[in-house]
Amino acid sequence: MADQNTTDPAVLADVAKMTADRVHAGILSRAAKLRKMADEVEQHAGRLAGVPDNPRRSYAGTVAEVQHTVLWGMANLGLDQMVGDAREADQWAGWRDLAAKEADRG
């Protein structure tokens, strides 16, 4: 990654695009993980039909499995990393814009 002290507008533009692309890819990755989590929740729902015929299964147990899937899935999404990546992308975009304004003046 470029040094944050650089004032070269081309370098700042490249880094700003790279960090913005990373944010975009991160959002798409999280969307795929959320879809996978939703599929797992639907699988749990499909098991409800077998509860009356299976004394080893219960509605509460199935819902507990759903809760586990959702809570662990959310915890493992890495949303804090995505927020940090977005903050960094905003910083680079701001530095890019400032350097472009300075270049236009000079």
Rounded Cα distance between 45 and 43, Å, is 5
Distances (CA, A) of 18 to 34, 38, 41, 86: 24, 30, 35, 11
pLDDT confidence tier of residue 102, bands split at 50, 70 and 90: confident
- What average pLDDT does the structure give for the chain? 92
99, 8 contact by CB (below 8 A): yes
Angle of CA points 26, 30, 32, to nearest 5°: 120
pTM: 0.81
**In percent, how much of the chain has pLDDT > 90?**
73
Task: State the amino acid at position 25 in one-letter form.
Answer: A
- Model confidence over 37-77: pLDDT tens digits? 999 999 999 988 888 888 888 999 999 999 999 999 999 99
Q: Is it the case that residue 7 has pLDDT exceeding 80? A: no
